[in-house]
Amino acid sequence: MALIFSVGISPVYAFANLDQKDNPKQTFDIDAKSGILIDSSSGDIIYEKNIHEKLPPASITKIMVMLLAMEDLESKKITLEDKVVVSQNAAKMGGSQVYLEEGEVQTVQDLLKAIALRSANDASTALGEHLSGSLDLFIDRMNKRAKELGMKNTHFKNTTGLPDEEHYSTAYDVSVMSRELLKHPKINDWLSLWMGEIKVGKKKDVTQNLVNTNNLIKFYQGANGIKTGFTNDAGFCLSASAKRGNLSLISVILGCNTAQVRFNETKKLLDYGFAMYDSVTVNKKGDLIKKLPVAKGNIKETSIVTQDSLNILIKKVKIKIYKKK
């Protein structure tokens, strides 16, 4: 008989030294006010430009709305089939929308779909009100969660990203909440969806055909999220994720002049990451680390195993050396 202990290894700590030694000097610029590229597994920064500059995030704001919804789903506070009654406040919300009517009933699932694909302001408002009972309470919760995640330069005033001087974030902070959202696999059902539809209206007699505002989902290999944004103040923004092989990347671009520029610059960052880096598995979940004898116990030995998988980010030119060792 053996007793098994699991040991958790912190990827962030493991990457600290590697990041200092191996991250090459940046040799290119991006046509955006700020941007960041990180390894999704560890959070390590691969590329950065003005990553702590406070800027309006536009509809990228809705990443936090989706994150709180996913956390409530996983904690069983809500279900995807829960009914949400649309308020007057949500129905009158301007900007991008799916034209919800006051008093109509939608499911949490369809509201998430409308947010992820159409970036619907009315849907994000209705969902926020449902999750916390009122919009003000939900916005308080958004700010509290941002603080918990270490998003030091972020403050939310709404669920939509519509302009407000006190509503701002940074490329770094957006990457933090994006990475946290992707820890909930179910969200990929909507983030990676190119097209969909929902029925709206009190009689559900109108079909809203939804096309993902993030065209990388269709046109970039491995793209699987996350959220676009645009206002006149914010410019064109995008938090994007993509996976090829073992490597998952998150790119955040804020303050581009056109929609095409934000997609081009995002592809530039992702291409750079996939060309220069790969992810190598050091330990898989459950791998045996060591067996230790137990003196004067009911068991003879105990096994130490890894609690989670550990991947490390390595420049591709060093992978051959790593494998030889």
Does 296 lie in the same domain as 189? Answer: no
Q: Give the tokens for residue 103.
A: 């008093």
Binding residues for substrate: 227
pTM above 0.75, yes or no: yes
Residue 266 lies in a domain: yes
Does 216 lie in the same domain as 298? Answer: no
Domain enclosing residue 223, as ranges: 34-279
CATH, residue 263: 3.40.710.10
226 preceded by a cis bond (ω within 30 of 0): yes
Residue 13 lies in a domain: no
Q: Which residues, given as ranges, of the chain have pLDDT below 50?
A: 1-21, 324
The DSSP output letter for 194 is: S
Residue 200 lies in a domain: yes
What's the chain's length in residues?
A: 325
Q: What are phi and psi of 102, to 5 degrees?
A: -60, 130
Catalytic site positions: 59, 62, 119
Does 264 lie in the same domain as 210? Answer: yes
Residue 15 lies in a domain: no
Tell me the CA distances in angstroms from 201 to 14, 80, 308, one per residue in order.
52, 19, 46
Binding residues: 227
Does 302 lie in the same domain as 163? Answer: no
pLDDT at 289: 72
pLDDT at 301: 76
Does 170 lie in the same domain as 144? Answer: yes
For the stretch 18-65, pLDDT in tens is 343 455 556 799 999 999 999 999 899 999 999 999 999 999 999 999
For the stretch 205-248, pLDDT in tens is 999 999 999 999 999 999 999 999 999 999 999 999 999 999 99
pLDDT at 318: 58
What is the count of structural domains for the chain?
A: 2
Does 296 lie in the same domain as 269? Answer: no
Residue 21 lies in a domain: no
pLDDT at 11: 34
Does 59 lie in the same domain as 74? Answer: yes
Three-state DSSP class for residue 302: strand
Residue 66 lies in a domain: yes
CA–CA separation, 270 vs 74, rounded Å? 30
